[in-house]
Structures are given as C-alpha cells and as structure tokens.
Amino acid sequence: MSNEIEETQILKGERFLPQVYDYYAGRAGGEFLRQLRDNAKIIGLRCPGCNRVYVPPRATCIHCFKDLNDFVEVSDEGTLVTYTVVNSQKEYYPAEAPFVYGIVKLDGATTGLVHMLGEVNLQELTEGMRVKAVFKEERTASILDIKYFRPL
C-alpha cells in the first residue's frame, strides 16, 4: 500500500521546510492492511522455522531469520498484555484524551499488537483482561480500520 502524504511544514530553527513523502507498507504490511479493509480480518505471518506468528506481519523472523510467506488468520480477540493512559491532548492524536494504548496479544499470535482501547472504565483496566477488536464500518486499509479493542 502506498499513500502519498500531503505537503506539510515543520519548524526547523527559524525556517519552515516542506516535507513530502510516500509510505509503502511492503508485501506483508500491504496484505495485512488489505485484509483489515476488505474482510475485517486480522492476519499474521507464520515462521516455517520456529512457528511464531507475527502480528502485524513482517517479512523475516527475528528469531531464526527465515523468510515469512505463510499468511494465517488470527482471532480478533486477545489478552491485554500492558497499557498506558494518555492524559495530554495533541492535535495529531487519533482520539481525545484521556485514552488508552495497549499491547494486545491476539489468540493465535505470538507477538503483541499496539492499539487503542475503547469502551473501557479506566478504574477497571487490568493487565490480562480479555479484549475484542471493534472494526470501523467504512475501512480504508489503515491500522485505524480497527477502531479500538473493547473489554469482553
């Protein structure tokens, strides 16, 4: 997936410099984003050497360095490994503060996926709680096609 980013300005000392770039998700990331968009499914890549399942997918196993080509669907449910509450507000944040980022280990995956949590009571957040992905109705091949993970 390639998304052209509109020209923006950044402050560099006393001058503004234009920044224009393209983003390419690669074979693994592109298929991951297509499956989110087209099927509301979460996929990973399984290592043929050590059987680890990477979500989000990556091209090479970080443990045995084998090429990864075996796409597998994982569950949209998982376990909250850890989390942090964001209390400050920035215009570029995807949600209004306070909101929660967490690492979710999806059932069937070996690695954790960093994403937002929603529909949560901050006083009831606990590591180890079970969560489920909530998908947007209209998806655009973005990680934000997963709106958030909510407690089960």
Count of structural domains within the chain: 1
Return the half-sphere exposure (C-beta side, CA atoms, 13 A cut-off) of residue 21. Answer: 5
Domain containing 16: what range? 2-151
Q: Are 105 and 121 in contact (CB under 8 A)?
A: no
Tens digit of pLDDT per residue, the chain (152 long)?
444 444 444 444 455 555 565 667 888 899 999 999 999 999 999 999 999 999 999 999 999 999 999 999 999 999 999 999 999 998 888 888 999 999 999 999 999 999 999 999 999 999 999 999 999 999 999 999 999 999 99
The pLDDT score that the predictor gives to residue 2 is 44
pLDDT value of position 17: 53
Q: What is the per-residue pLDDT for 144?
A: 93
**What pLDDT does residue 141 have?**
94
Give the per-residue pLDDT at 150.
97
Does this model's pTM top 0.85? My answer is no
Cα separation values, 124 from 67, 120, 121, Å: 41, 7, 5
pLDDT for 31: 95
| Ordered alpha helix ranges (H), the chain | 26-39
User: 140: how many CB neighbours lie within 10 A of its CB?
Assistant: 12
